[in-house]
Structures are given as C-alpha cells and as structure tokens.
Amino acid sequence: MLKKGFILNKIGQGLLHIVFWCCVLLFFTYFFGVGSNNFRDTLMYSVFLMPITIALTYVSIYKLIPDYLITKRYFHFVLYSVYTLIISAYLVMVSMFFSLIYISNFEYKDMNPITRNILFVMTGIYLITFVVSAFKLMKLNVLASKKNKALETKILKTQLKLKEQELNYLKMQIHPHFLFNTLNTMYGFALKKAEETPEMILKLSNLLDYLLYQVDKPFVSLKDEINHIEDYISLEKMRFNETLNVTFIKNITSEPVEIAPMLFVPFVENSFKHGLIHNGILNIEITLQTNPDSILFKIKNSASNTQNYSEGIGLENIQKRLELVYPEQYDLKIESDESQFKVALFINLKTHLNGK
C-alpha cells in the first residue's frame, strides 16, 4: 500500500513538472516572439532553449541549493554557480548560432530581434531558474521550520515528562516518611488500647485518601490541603498529649484557590520532628493568609540552634518542588535563632496563573 502511494506520488510530481515546462515553453514562445511574425521559428528556437533551461534549473534546485547553500558551504556554492553560469552562457551562444544557421539560413537580418541579444536570451532563461529556485528555497525553509517546530515540541514534551517524573519522585519521598511517623504513633496507641485509636484510624484513613487520590494531581484546592494539615495536626496532638501547643490561624479568601498538593506538609512535619520542648511544651504556630493573587504561609516552632534543620528530605524536597511548580514566583525564607525556627513562604498566584 505504501509502495503504491509512493509510485502515485511520483507520477503526480512528474505530471506537474511536465505541465510546468509546457507553460515555460509557451512563455518562451511569447517572450522571444516579440517583434516577429514567424511563430514556427520562434517555437523551434524556444524548444531548443528548453533543455538548457531545464538542466540549469534542476542543477540549481537539486544540487547547488540543497547541497551547498542550505548547508552553508558558501564558497562551493559560489564556485559551482560560476561554473554553471559559464556553461549556460556557452550553451546560449550555441543556441544563437542554431538560430542563425538552421532557422535564419545565415541571414542575420532574418533572426528574431530578441534572439540576436544574448542578454535578452539569458534573462529569459535565468528568470525561470530564479523563480523556481526561489520557490525551492521557500519550500525548504518551510520544511526546516516544520522540522524545527516538531523538534522543539518533542524537546518540550520530554522536558515536561522529566519535570512530571521529578515531581512524582519528590512526592513519593514524602509519603513513606509521613506514613512511618503516623503509623508509629498509632502503634503506640494500639499497644495501650487507648480510646483514641479509632479516631486515629479515621484520621489516617482521610490522610491516605488524600495521599492516594489527590496528591498525584498537579493542583488541589486549598481547602483540601488545609483539611489534610488539620488531620495531621490532630494525629500529632494525640501523640504529644499535653506537651503540644499548636496554633493554626487562617485568613482565607472566599474565592477558590488551587495549589500544588502536599506543599505545606513538609514544613509542618519538620516542626514536629525537629521542634524542641521548652518548659514541657512544644510550641508551634502556623499562619495561613490567602487572597486570589497570593498565599502567605508562616510556621514557627520552639527549637534549639544546635539542631540541624537541613536533615532529612523535607526542606530540600520542598525547595525543589517550588522551583519546578512555581519558578521565580515564590519567596522562601528560613530563619532560626536560639529559641525558634521560622519559615515564611510567599507564592504569587497571579503570576503563576498568567504563566500557565
């Protein structure tokens, strides 16, 4: 089937070339017939010029342009073009002798007025060659443009796929760490046969639902993310009992806001993991302010300046995700002193939405 289509395509191209050169022959007959009433002699002379014109044109579009001009081998292009010009000029001179000898019977005055001037003859031939060559260049440029566009699209798709794979990898790093902490807490409650165990299982069920069905989405509603954080805090409160004091202040816009899933959880996890109990209490304060154009998330916890807060995957993970999801659209500040560890994350949602 493909072979048949290829053959039909070539036949179509051949017929198109034949029709084109027939039109050129008519043009030559009209062009060289100016000032002459002898149609037969003009047609004969035009037919004699056709092989010269065809050869010159095909050499130009199938050899000089694709092999030397397009490949930027300009020296060879100029050199071989000069050779072609010399040979074609010689053949034009031969055509003029043909007109003088065989058509005009050595009578110079009987020659077609235009065929006496080599410049007019060469103008007719090179006009055809120039037009066809210009069309060939335009066609090659269009094909090159399509190839470049296809290549750019392929590169962009590959980059997007790599970006998605990296994001999925970063998300998967969060899950085991988070689930390990939660299950470890639940195990301790189960050993004690505590009454809070069913509630913990319910909270964990909600968290797993979020992790399994929501976190793979590129964006989730801010409300779902807040519910996820609150479930996490509830589980940690059960683990810490009276030694935990968490304040979660929310100033949320009424308009729907979407963010990348699990964006704030690593900071919350980090505050519990590295937070230091002062006077029998681990203090954690979370603030979330949003409007349709931006999000400001702050968290601080009691800590010690001797601790290494760069441990684990949390902070490094979230910085990589921010670079991938919100490039040049966020501001992350991390500070620590002798008693507190502070994080402030600002995200410009307006810029992000306009850039999507």
Domain boundaries, given as residue ranges, for the chain: 2-153, 195-355
C-alpha 168/C-alpha 172 separation (Å) is 6
Q: What is the pLDDT of residue 166?
A: 57
For residue 297, is pLDDT > 80?
A: yes
More confident residue, 215 or 219: 219
- Measured in residues, the chain has a length of 356
Q: What class is the 195-355 domain?
A: alpha beta
pLDDT in tens, 9-61: 888 888 988 999 899 888 888 877 766 666 777 777 788 888 888 998 999 99
Q: 3-state SS of the chain: helix, strand, coil percent to 5?
A: 70, 15, 20
232 touches 204 (CB < 8 A):
no
Token pair for 327 = 């490039």
Does 258 have pLDDT greater than 50?
yes
- What is the reported pLDDT for 312? 46
What is the tens place of the pLDDT at every residue in 339-353? 788 999 999 987 655
pLDDT tens for residues 307-337? 555 444 456 777 877 888 888 899 999 888 7
The sign of the dihedral angle between the CA atoms of 140, 143, 148, 151 is negative
pTM summary value? 0.52
With bands split at pLDDT 50, 70 and 90, how would you rate the model's confidence at 176?
low
User: CA 205, CA 200: separation in Å to the nearest integer?
Assistant: 8
89 or 160: whose pLDDT is higher? 89
For residues 150 and 15, which has the higher predicted lDDT (pLDDT)?
15
Classify residue 256 by its DSSP letter: -
